[in-house]
């Protein structure tokens, strides 16, 4: 079970391939957004705010390589890991794919099991809490599978929103999150919530954690852990 379901954007123009992968990713507990061509992919990146992109190289219209290049140039999308999928298996293509900024590369025909393993391995690095990795920072320990948080050995009781907030902070200690970024990550893009709601839940999280305050308010920017 995943604590905070990551969203995977699947960009594939062949309907049968799209369906098989979409089915398998959903079965693994991921939220799945799909796009059948390059233009739709670029729209979905902004709408679905994916945690990872599975990107077919050969697409009608804008190619996978070009999408990858554009996303890696934009500061808002640069950090989203991209696994490039291609029917072209030659080494030179693999190198070209990775040079464009793709984080990993899989050739067709691929085994679905292997592809799922690559997705999981990538998320372990980029979104560890979503795949059940226990997070530890200073005297705080968060277990995404049991939903339990301990500080200095004692159990901390958190509501679901505070739990998601803390796992977001603990995945990237030191990173400054704006209120809008926290809303997208913790509440999701589809829900309209006032940014002041973030402050309310940060307050609850601070209170629940007790002890010395570990959450830093960065004036005009947002919040950070440590």
Residue 10 makes contact with Ca ion by CB under 5 A = no
Residue 13 makes contact with Ca ion by CB under 5 A = yes
Candidates 54-62, 75-83, 127-135, 182-190 — which segment interacts with Ca ion by CB under 5 A? 54-62
Residue 58 makes contact with Ca ion by CB under 5 A = yes
**Residue number with CB closer to Ca ion (85 or 156):** 85
The first and second tokens of residue 47, run together, are 């709408």
Residue 93 makes contact with Ca ion by CB under 5 A = no
Nearest distance from residue 87's CB to Ca ion, in Å? 7
**Among 224, 201, 204, which Cα is nearest to 214's?**
224
Candidates 11-19, 35-43, 88-96, 138-146 — which segment interacts with Ca ion by CB under 5 A? 11-19
**Residue number with CB closer to Ca ion (13 or 139):** 13
Residue 62 makes contact with Ca ion by CB under 5 A = no
**Residue number with CB closer to Ca ion (104 or 171):** 104
Candidates 10-18, 126-134, 163-171, 185-193 — which segment interacts with Ca ion by CB under 5 A? 10-18
Nearest distance from residue 102's CB to Ca ion, in Å? 15
Nearest distance from residue 17's CB to Ca ion, in Å? 8
Residue 104 makes contact with Ca ion by CB under 5 A = no
Nearest distance from residue 109's CB to Ca ion, in Å? 13
Give the chain as a 3 state SS string: CCCCCCEEEEECCCHHHHHHHHHHHHHCCCEEEEECCHHHHHHHHHHHCCCEEEEECCCCCCCHHHHHHHHHHCCCCCCCCEEEEECCCCHHHHHHHHHCCCCEEEECCCCHHHHHHHHHHHHHHHCHHHHCCCEEECCEEEECCCCEEEECCEEECCCHHHHHHHHHHHHCCCCCECHHHHHHHHHCCCCCCCHHHHHHHHHHHHHHHCCCCCEEEECCCEEEEC
Residue 56 makes contact with Ca ion by CB under 5 A = yes
Q: Answer whether 184's CB lies under 8 Å from 138's CB.
A: no
Would you tell me which residues interact with Ca ion (CB under 5 A)?
13, 56, 58
């Amino acid at each position: 079970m995943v604590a905070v379901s990551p969203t995977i954007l699947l960009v594939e123009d062949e309907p049968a391939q799209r369906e098989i992968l979409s089915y398998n990713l959903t079965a693994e507990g991921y939220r799945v957004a799909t796009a059948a061509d390059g233009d739709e992919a670029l729209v979905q990146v902004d709408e679905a705010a994916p945690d990872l992109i599975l990107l077919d190289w050969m697409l009608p219209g804008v190619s996978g390589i070009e999408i990858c290049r554009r996303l890696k140039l934009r500061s808002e999308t640069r950090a989203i890991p991209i696994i490039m999928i291609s029917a072209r298996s030659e080494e030179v293509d693999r190198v070209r794919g990775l040079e464009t900024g793709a984080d990993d590369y899989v050739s067709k025909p691929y085994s679905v099991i292997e592809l799922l393993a690559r997705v999981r391995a990538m998320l372990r690095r980029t979104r560890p809490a979503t795949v059940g990795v226990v997070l530890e920072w200073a005297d705080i320990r968060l277990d995404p599978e049991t939903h339990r948080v301990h500080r200095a050995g004692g159990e901390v009781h958190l509501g679901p929103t505070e739990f998601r907030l803390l796992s977001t902070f603990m995945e990237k200690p030191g990173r400054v999150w704006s209120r809008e970024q926290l809303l997208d990550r913790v509440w999701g893009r589809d829900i309209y919530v006032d940014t002041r709601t973030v402050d309310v839940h940060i307050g609850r999280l601070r209170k629940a954690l007790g002890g010395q305050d570990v959450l830093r308010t960065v004036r005009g920017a947002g919040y950070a852990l440590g």
